Amino acid sequence: MTLIETIILAIIQGITEFLPVSSSGHLVMAQHFFGLTDPEQNLNFIVFLHFTSLLAILVSFYKEIIELLTNFKVILMIIIGTIPAGLIGYLFNDQIDALFTSPRLVGTMLVLTGIYLLISEIHWKSAPVWLERAPLLSALWVGIAQMLSIAPGLSRSGLTICTGLIQGWENRDRVKFSFFLAIPVILGASILKLKDIGQLQTSFQPIHIVIGGLVCFIISLIAINVLVKAVRRGKLAYFGWYCMAVGILTVIFS
């Protein structure tokens, strides 16, 4: 993989990890477009990029994370919300990896993501529910949404934020909880792939890895800020139309 291809993948990961358009889906399409024929090595690099995105979450929400340490209920909600994806990821790791080779599957899942984003933008008239007052069961529904987003093309941020919206959660809280859930999932996936990360040196030059990680981190910080503003202003429908358009085109041309 050339340095330019590495940077492009890092930019795609940084933008799409947090915007509700599915980072895994866009990375599968990018690999297909570039003709990168070693999916195992590509996946190792993508896991590394996810880790740099995790660092961006920690930097962007460090105040909220510090406050979280004293809020037992929210910690319990995060644990409940993490269990579905954690179980599926651990039990079906190899089967999940196999999904990352089908652009047509990605296109179909992107269309479904777009539909869900559009449906969730219906204006719910009930008063907003603050995270601290939300029932524990609501965290499980968001966790199930995150579990489904393991499939490439289903946006993790999109599904979790919109599931929180449908349940009436306050805007800032549903974004915050979505990012809180991302921390253990990304960290867990990185740990599962830790044994393979060393193989990056056989396919990627060290300078490529460093530059790719730095680019992904910076772009991720920008994308987080964009997403927070989009949710606050009720603009998720734009991402929904985008997902549907890209998904349909991907299915047609794959």
- pLDDT one-digit tens code per residue, 18-72: 899 988 788 778 777 766 655 455 666 777 788 888 899 999 999 988 988 888 9
Q: Assess contact for 200 and 41: CB atoms under 8 A.
A: yes
Q: Assess contact for 13 and 50: CB atoms under 8 A.
A: yes
pLDDT of 36 reads: 60
> What is the span of the domain harbouring residue 45?
3-253
Average pLDDT of span 131-139: 90
pLDDT of 18 reads: 87
Q: Which residue has the tokens 């199930």?
A: 144
Q: How many domains would you assign to the chain?
A: 1
Q: Assess contact for 177 and 130: CB atoms under 8 A.
A: no
pTM over the 0.75 mark: yes
**Does the pLDDT of residue 83 top 90, yes or no?**
yes
Q: Using pLDDT thresholds of 50, 70 and 90, give the confidence band for residue 204.
A: low
In this structure, of 154-168, 177-191, 228-242, the range with the lowest mean pLDDT score is 177-191
Average pLDDT of span 121-128: 66
